[in-house]
Chain A
């Protein structure tokens, strides 16, 4: 019984909570479903919870506040369920340190896939990949704006990035000067938009190089590491 990861599902909507708990149960998880943040706090204190699936909009204490509480007291991963798509709300949520988020209405399969990605990362002792928190990163005259998924050049002109390019760029910007293998890159970038990333990493790297390298033939920013993978060779400042 304890082999099965224990999920705490927090959602005030019964019409979502109950079928979702059933579905997650059928997919190999032990699920405790509660309808409020206060109840969730009790369960967190009493049970060994492996992950929290958290609705943002709830009467009483909302999901964001609970998420902050969880992050302050433990390392339990959190996935946010949100009905809002206004970007400002998204950012506020992710600053609270959630690991990922899905937008309602979501595909339960996708939710399960994301849960599994996070568990795999935890199992392999991987670094916590919090979802982009609205911060911007600057390196070598460029700025990566996470809110708009654009790179801004030294003249202040924005170059919008495709989803795959953006995910790669974010992976590099958050881990500057460390070597990332192709598998690692796939892992990191696939976590968020699983279906949008099935082309070879190399292809995306070369697209990125075309955009940011002064001379794409002789890359100085995104360098190839023999036998290892790629590394962003630049000073990155988080803004």
Chain B
């Protein structure tokens, strides 16, 4: 399943996204709480006038009873459940019950209905609405009728205007407030993030460069403290690794020199051996040791090449290498091939190809070389006519010092470093060494290079 790419990948992006989401959730909760409180207030505001009239009526019941006709009827007493028309308001009933309890009135049951009708707006309402920024027009005002049973069968009914449902302007308020919060919180965060991200990006670049080339520039030590610490640690590590690699090169150079001198001495002395066959064998052994030494040094130096990569025609390279083998009388041939240009270090690819051809001749009698274009890659294939390699041993063959047991030509020896060296060279070129048994018999070793 494809992952949604909405979620940012970078540290700073994630922090900002997270903070933005958290802010929004907090705002929403805040909004919910405020809304509830406001509704409660509104309900109280709607209920209170009617409740007040009921309470007032009950308190002044005695005087009122004899004076029923005087003035406007603010509350009337009825016996038996009153007929109430309109929309039932259970919320008002609940609120009224609580309010009656608060003032210590014993009320048996409460009923409330609301009728909605357009009524002239009172002056104080107009003032309030104007203060709230509401338009005074089209305002429907509800008439709330509240009936309270104060004694079994005896009810008091009161009416009062309710404010009606005023439009909610909370949504816009939430958005506005959230935006202000975002500006206040996210802008500094963004600034901080950039301060954090720049040295991290540099660090990444330097580390990648180091992995590719074995050398990289030191990273500027800046940004917040812990990033600076990380940069300093990286720089120290880089300096140490470079020092170690340099030391390794120096040491290998010294070993190479120190071993070659006695070998050279031995080689000169072999000439004084009378027996021709014996002398030939001795010098062969010395050459063998020297080759091994070269292989070890090359392998140890792999990945720290001083030669620059350049555009090279690999077909011409294969041709040149094969030609050198043919000059020496080796059974090697090259299939015709088109120009195949790749960005490589030619000396190293020559070396790799030579190693494969030598292997093919030693273990497979002949070497057939071809250069092919394959899916945007260039493949230099070296096929032989030998027995091939058991599939389960292929991987092992690439490890240093592995040699194919039971090879037809045990005497040939070799350091067992050939393929390991080829693999190291390929790795340095972002290429690949591939081994496969050919269907028609024999092994095919390929150098795969990005074209």
How far is B255's CA from A83's CA once the two chains are assembled, in angstroms?
11
| CB of B375 closer than 8 Å to a CB of A | no
| CB of A148 closer than 8 Å to a CB of B | yes
- In the complex with contacts A165-B323, A211-B316, A158-B310 CB distance below 8 A: yes
| CB of B178 closer than 8 Å to a CB of A | no
- In the complex with contacts A16-B268, A109-B271, A162-B262 CB distance below 8 A: no
CB <8 Å contact, A83 and B256: yes
**Which residues between 233 and 265 of chain B lie within 8 Å of chain A, taking CB atoms?**
253, 256-257, 260-265
| CB of B166 closer than 8 Å to a CB of A | no
Kindly identify which residue among B265, B290, B310, B327 contacts A199, using a CB–CB cutoff of 8 Å.
B327
CB <8 Å contact, B311 and A156: yes
Q: Is the interface of B mostly helix, strand, loop or mixed?
A: helix
What distance in Å separates the Cβ of B93 from its nearest Cβ neighbour in chain A? Answer: 93
| CB of A108 closer than 8 Å to a CB of B | yes
Which residues on A sit within 8 Å (CB–CB) of B23? none
| CB of B141 closer than 8 Å to a CB of A | no
CB <8 Å contact, A19 and B346: no
Return the chain A residue nearest B308 by Cβ.
Answer: A148
- The stretch of A35-43, A84-92, A219-227 in contact with B is A84-92
Return the chain A residue nearest B249 by Cβ.
Answer: A86
| CB of A178 closer than 8 Å to a CB of B | no
CB <8 Å contact, B261 and A15: yes
What distance in Å separates the Cβ of B40 from its nearest Cβ neighbour in chain A? Answer: 82
What distance in Å separates the Cβ of B434 from its nearest Cβ neighbour in chain A? Answer: 22
CB <8 Å contact, A157 and B312: yes
Which residues on B sit within 8 Å (CB–CB) of A148? 307, 346-347
What distance in Å separates the Cβ of B220 from its nearest Cβ neighbour in chain A? Answer: 32
The contact size tier of chain A is: 35 or more
| CB of B65 closer than 8 Å to a CB of A | no
Cβ contacts A5-31/B at 8 Å (1 or 0 each): 000000001011001101100000000
Please give the number of chain B residues whose Cβ is less than 8 angstroms from any Cβ of chain A in the complex. Answer: 40
Cβ contacts A188-209/B at 8 Å (1 or 0 each): 0000000111110000000100
| CB of A94 closer than 8 Å to a CB of B | no
Which residues on B sit within 8 Å (CB–CB) of A108? 267-268, 271
CB <8 Å contact, A157 and B341: yes
How far is B306's CA from A23's CA once the two chains are assembled, in angstroms?
38
Which residues on A sit within 8 Å (CB–CB) of B271? 19, 23, 108-109
How far is B261's CA from A192's CA once the two chains are assembled, in angstroms?
22
How far is B283's CA from A108's CA once the two chains are assembled, in angstroms?
11
Return the chain B residue nearest A104 by Cβ.
Answer: B264
- In the complex with contacts A23-B271, A156-B311, A106-B264 CB distance below 8 A: yes
Given contacts A84-B257, A148-B307, A159-B317, 10 further A-B contacts (CB under 8 A): A13-B264, A83-B261, A85-B294, A86-B253, A106-B264, A148-B347, A157-B341, A160-B350, A162-B324, A163-B327
Query: Which chain B residues have a beta carbon within 8 Å of chain A's beta carbons?
Result: 253, 256-257, 260-269, 271-272, 283, 286-287, 290, 294, 306-307, 310-313, 316-317, 319-321, 323-324, 327-328, 339, 341, 346-347, 350
Query: Which chain A residues have a beta carbon within 8 Å of chain B's beta carbons?
Result: 13, 15-16, 19-20, 22-23, 57, 81, 83-88, 104-109, 148-150, 152, 155-165, 195-199, 207, 211
5 contacts between A and B (CB under 8 A): A105-B287, A109-B271, A159-B317, A162-B321, A163-B327
